[in-house]
Amino acid sequence: MDLSVISDSEAAYEKFFDECGAMKAGKFILAERHIRSVLKAIAGSSILLSIFAHAATGYNFATEFDRHVSVSDNRKSLVMPQSDGDLLAFVYCLLMEIDGRNIDFHKLLAAYYYHADGPAESYLLFCTAVIDPLRRAVRAVREAEEFEYVV
């Protein structure tokens, strides 16, 4: 990675929130592009890199994914972790797996965020269940200064 594109500015940090908002407001057809944009915003901010590196240290996504699958009335869903640190690690890894095509996003939506009105509504459910808590957790962790800031 070209380290010259990493910034410690507030603008680089706020770009993450802009990208998350664009993802939720965006069209389902562009979902994977939005995921990539969110990940690029993380990679472009030293503040966010510090937050996510701290959260993901020693995190085993495969094990945690299985632990967060819930089944009720023969429907599966992903239950987001309760702690901010675990949520940050879980969602970051989930987005990385989707972006790396290790998890098929369409199949993920169908399996865990199914909506009878179609994939666009499933996508909105995903954004509400995953991206909204991610934004909240990033702000909470930064405000609590529970991470080591590395420039």
Global confidence as pTM: 0.89
Residue ranges of alpha helices (H) inside the chain are 10-25, 31-43, 46-56, 61-67, 84-99, 105-112, 119-126, 132-144
Token output for 71 = 């089944």
pLDDT value at residue 9: 83
Query: pLDDT digits over 70-83, tens only?
Result: 998 888 999 999 99
Distance CA 72, CA 134 (A): 24
- Reply yes or no on whether the pLDDT at 145 is more than 90: no
Distance CA 43, CA 40 (A): 5
Q: How many CA within 13 A on the CB side of residue 26? A: 19
Q: What is the mean pLDDT of residues 57-65?
A: 94
Q: What is the DSSP letter of 83?
A: S
Distance CA 102, CA 51 (A): 24
